[in-house]
Amino acid sequence: MRCLVTGGAGFIGSHLVNSLESRKSQVRVYDNFSTGSRENLEGFKGKLIEGDVRDYSSVRAAVRGVDTVFHLAAVGSVVRSIEDPLTTHEVNVSGTLNVLEACRQEGVRKIVFASSSAVYGDLPALPKHENAKPSPQSTYAVSKLAAELYCRVFLRNYGSDTSCLRFFNVFGPRQSPESEYAAVIPSFINAALQGDSPVIYGDGTQSRDFTYVDNAVVAMMLAAGVRGSVGLIANVACGTRYSLLEMIGEIESLVGHRITPIFKDPRPGDVKHSQAAIGRARCTLGYVPRVGLRPGLEATINWFQNEKNTSGRVVRQQVG
């Protein structure tokens, strides 16, 4: 496989790059390092292209000669999207359009797009099925839904082979806790290892379908290779949910000491409960979650501890 990974220096993207290289694929990484890190690409043997998905000519040059594009480059924060809706739109919507058009012009065989469970919003029915009417609650969610619609239109109008995978709360090694927009698991783990109190926005009863990063990578690899994935929109998760208070309890048991969170007001755009129906991914792709919550947390905590031991800090500072 000759492939390009946009956002390949990021958390999920770099894990995908590792998996692709382990399978002897020829890999290019395209990243502007606004949130990604060169440290995430340590040992990378392919071609690294520093560029921005908002630059069409640069994107087109990057996709030239590849057969598969994994499009992960995005502004990935609900909070940041509400604070800066214009940049979120430019990167997540216009940037995706640039990728799709560049792929069309260069004859790329397959495009796998990383979408998000955020498109469902706060729909009360659980688990969330792909045929539910989207109800986005943030600029980020709207941008991911708009990008999905562009994928669908490019399939219908041009025959572009696109698949959209809706990721649910992916976590794992390399996920930075240092940004003000950090996801809950790295923030909780980082606080626990430093002896601090993690912040919970809300009362802690809100629940999520936490998904270890290896599961997301497997789904992307399957979507790139399964013939029946043309036009697919599918959830990628574990099909279970845990509250944030339950998550604190799991981390407590693994780090061996009590964690006392600080509670703050809920943030705009956050949903109360999220859980995926994963039957479509299972039936269409043969996707089965390989790593459950506890082993995923163990691997993630071990990574953070190793980073602390080798760098003298809980994590190394990442770009962005």
Percent of the chain with pLDDT over 70: 95
Name the maximum alpha-carbon separation found in the chain: 57
Contact 130, 234 (CB under 8 A): yes
Question: What confidence score (pLDDT) does residue 267 get?
Answer: 86
The 10 Å Cβ neighbour count of residue 66 is 21
Coil vs helix vs strand at 206: coil
- pLDDT value of residue 176: 86
31: CB partners within 8 A, 6+ apart: 6, 7, 8, 9, 10, 13, 48, 49, 50, 51, 73
Q: What is the mean pLDDT of residues 122-141?
A: 95
- Domain 2-170+211-236, what architecture? 3-Layer(aba) Sandwich (3.40)
Domain ranges of the chain: 2-170+211-236, 171-208+240-271+291-311
Element (H, E) at 28: strand 26-31
Judge whether residue 179 has pLDDT over 70. no
DSSP 223-239: HHH-GGGTT-EEEES-S
> What is the β-pairing status of strands 233-236 and 199-201?
unpaired
Mean pLDDT of the chain: 93
Task: Enter the pTM of the model.
Answer: 0.93
The residues, any chain, with a CB within 8 Å of residue 11's CB and separated by 6 or more, are: 40, 170, 172, 174, 175, 176, 213
Q: Check if 2-170+211-236 and 171-208+240-271+291-311 are the same fold.
A: no
Instruction: Please state, for a pLDDT cut of 90, what percent of the chain lies above it.
Output: 89
How many CB atoms lie under 10 A from the CB of residue 146? 18
- Say if residue 180's pLDDT is above 80: no
CA 132 to CA 6: how far, in whole Å? 28
Instruction: Answer yes or no: CATH 3.90.226.10 is held by domain 171-208+240-271+291-311.
Output: no
